[in-house]
């Protein structure tokens, strides 16, 4: 890839090393994905009903698959080195356009025929960028190139189905029939994409750096949790209301239960799973990376969006000075709030089962308690409903800390020793920058 062209001047694509970590450009790229999560939440919040929730899940599933493909590309090439960032910026622009078009993707074609087509066209560009970059990486390896081409049918069919879903409904005069055809095509895309991932197995790819893979997914989950806080703050109109004690209390409770959900994954499940992926090799590593991270992070992300929608509605009511603080929540806020947390915890338990081959019965009991609390929360004042949810989530964390003391301490000790060893190695490497040059007197 040398020469005097622009790729030669910028530098070649650089392969990922076994100990690679996430670089800053990848985090920059992730922010556009999180913006897409925000757009999905905002578009659904405008009119929460079963149809719009179904549409939100379809869009999220298609969007998440592009994230999975993006993460697979990042297992082979450093996205922040050489000419690759230039190519990825084109993908970012397409992803940003895709996110902006999402609110119109399922609108009546008679109202806005361009929205669905912009969404479909942007998605084609995103997938084409990823495919072209991966094809460039494996260009000198005939066997890997053949493996990659096995995924071409999924890419071609997915993009064709999305384009058809944008074009066909606009030609029909019956809105209900047009909507059914469009939804069926989108659902077919989801089945095709995730089914291909299962059928493909370990075709032609490997997780070279387990640290890079786990860090990418951990970061996107953290950013999604942060986006839920922003969504609640913006969507519930906290910024547009004078601060009142109920509003401040509701905001604090939202932060606390979100932090508890962060803790539920990152205190011991996430670190232990990372070690398990490091310890695995070959096909078992690839299948674990696919099942646990590429697939089971999706219900956790979906749960975050759901409980953000529920919390937004409840906090909006609590902050409204024209609504009595004793009034019970209106609309689907409580089922979405508790159901979203249930979805998040169920996804996390499946993640734990796949990576650690264990089940936390305490978490099973917590999910059952959350389910039983939905009818109770429907009749409590909004602030009391948030308090109930927060108490359950914090209670889960507190009981785990008390009952898993030795196991947590042992895990944290292993993680701390690994971290300090890595830091010591980096410090030793960098200390050479302070060594005197040959013949130069030391100071």
Q: What is the pLDDT of residues 101-138, one digit of tens each?
A: 888 888 765 555 677 888 888 999 999 998 888 888 88
CA pair distance 421, 311, nearest whole angstrom: 42
CA pair distance 359, 81, nearest whole angstrom: 41
pLDDT the model gives residue 3: 47
With tokens 């076994």, the residue in question is 18
CA pair distance 168, 402, nearest whole angstrom: 58
**Contact call for residues 16 and 78 (beta carbons, < 8 A):** yes
Identify any residues that bridge with 77 across adjacent strands, giving them in sequence order.
15
Alpha-helical runs (H) found in 236-360: 245-266, 269-279, 282-288, 297-319, 333-356
pLDDT band, very low/low/confident/very high, at 2 (cuts 50, 70, 90): very low
Is the pLDDT assigned to residue 374 strictly greater than 90? yes
CA pair distance 351, 359, nearest whole angstrom: 10
Q: Report the mean per-residue pLDDT for the chain.
A: 87
Ranges 8-17, 28-37, 80-89, 209-218: which has the least confidence: 8-17
pLDDT band, very low/low/confident/very high, at 400 (cuts 50, 70, 90): very high
DSSP 84-136: HHHHHHHHHHHHHHHHHHGGGTTS-TTT-SHHHHHHHHHHHHHHHHHHHHHHH
pTM of the predicted model as reported, rounded to 2 decimal places: 0.91
pLDDT the model gives residue 63: 92
pLDDT the model gives residue 192: 94
pLDDT band, very low/low/confident/very high, at 199 (cuts 50, 70, 90): confident
What Cα–Cα distance (Å) separates residue 29 from each residue in 43, 89, 276, 358, 434?
22, 8, 27, 34, 35
Mean pLDDT along residues 417-428: 86
Residue ranges of the domains in the chain?
10-205, 208-428
CA pair distance 2, 155, nearest whole angstrom: 30
pLDDT the model gives residue 270: 96
Mean pLDDT along residues 368-387: 95
pLDDT the model gives residue 425: 85
DSSP 173-222: S-HHHHHHHHHHHHHHHHHHHHHHHHHHTTTT---S-HHHHHHHHHHHHH
With tokens 């909006």, the residue in question is 316
pLDDT the model gives residue 4: 52
**Contact call for residues 254 and 294 (beta carbons, < 8 A):** no
Mean pLDDT along residues 277-290: 92
pLDDT per residue over 8-23, tens digit each?
Answer: 666 777 888 888 888 8
Mean pLDDT along residues 138-149: 78
What count of other Cβ atoms lies within 10 Å of the Cβ of residue 411? 17
**Contact call for residues 30 and 99 (beta carbons, < 8 A):** no
Return the SS3 of 311: helix
Return the SS3 of 28: helix
pLDDT the model gives residue 1: 41
């Amino acid at each position: 890839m040398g020469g005097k062209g622009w790729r030669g001047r910028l530098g070649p694509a650089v392969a990922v090393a076994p100990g690679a970590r996430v670089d800053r450009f990848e985090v920059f790229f992730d922010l556009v994905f999180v913006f897409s999560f925000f757009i999905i939440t905002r578009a659904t919040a405008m009119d929460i009903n079963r149809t719009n929730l179904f549409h939100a899940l379809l869009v999220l599933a298609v969007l998440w698959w592009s994230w999975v493909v993006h993460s697979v590309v990042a297992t082979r090439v450093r996205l922040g080195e050489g000419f690759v960032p230039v190519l990825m910026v084109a993908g970012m622009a397409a992803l940003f356009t895709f996110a902006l078009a999402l609110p119109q993707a399922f609108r009546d074609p008679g109202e806005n025929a361009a929205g669905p087509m912009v969404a479909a066209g942007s998605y084609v560009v995103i997938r084409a960028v990823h495919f072209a970059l991966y094809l460039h990486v494996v260009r000198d390896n005939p066997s890997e190139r053949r493996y990659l081409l096995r995924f071409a049918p999924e890419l071609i069919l997915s993009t064709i189905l999305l384009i058809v879903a944008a074009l066909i409904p606009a030609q029909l005069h019956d809105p209900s029939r047009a909507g059914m055809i469009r939804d069926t095509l989108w659902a077919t895309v989801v089945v095709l994409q995730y089914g291909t991932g299962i059928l493909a197995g370990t075709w032609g790819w490997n997780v070279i750096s387990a640290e890079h893979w786990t860090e990418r997914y951990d970061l996107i989950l953290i950013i999604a949790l942060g986006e839920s806080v922003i969504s609640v703050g913006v969507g519930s109109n906290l910024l547009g209301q004078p601060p009142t004690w109920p509003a401040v209390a509701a905001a604090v409770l939202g932060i606390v239960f979100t932090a508890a959900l962060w803790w539920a994954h990152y205190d011991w499940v996430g670190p232990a799973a990372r070690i398990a992926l490091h310890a695995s090799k070959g096909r078992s590593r690839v299948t674990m990376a696919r099942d646990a991270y590429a697939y089971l992070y999706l219900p956790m992300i979906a749960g975050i969006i759901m409980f953000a929608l529920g919390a937004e509605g409840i906090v909006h009511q609590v902050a409204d000075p024209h609504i009595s603080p004793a009034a019970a929540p209106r609309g689907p806020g409580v089922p979405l709030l508790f159901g979203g947390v249930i979805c998040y915890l169920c996804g996390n338990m499946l993640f734990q089962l796949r990576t650690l081959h264990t089940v936390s019965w305490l978490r099973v009991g917590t999910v059952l308690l959350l389910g039983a609390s939905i009818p109770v929360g429907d009749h409590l004042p909004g602030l009391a409903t948030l308090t109930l949810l927060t108490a359950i989530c914090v209670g889960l964390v507190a009981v785990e800390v008390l009952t898993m003391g030795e196991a947590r301490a042992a895990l944290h000790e292993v993680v701390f020793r690994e971290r300090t060893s890595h830091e010591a190695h980096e410090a030793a490497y960098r200390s050479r920058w302070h060594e005197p040059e040959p013949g130069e007197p030391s100071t």
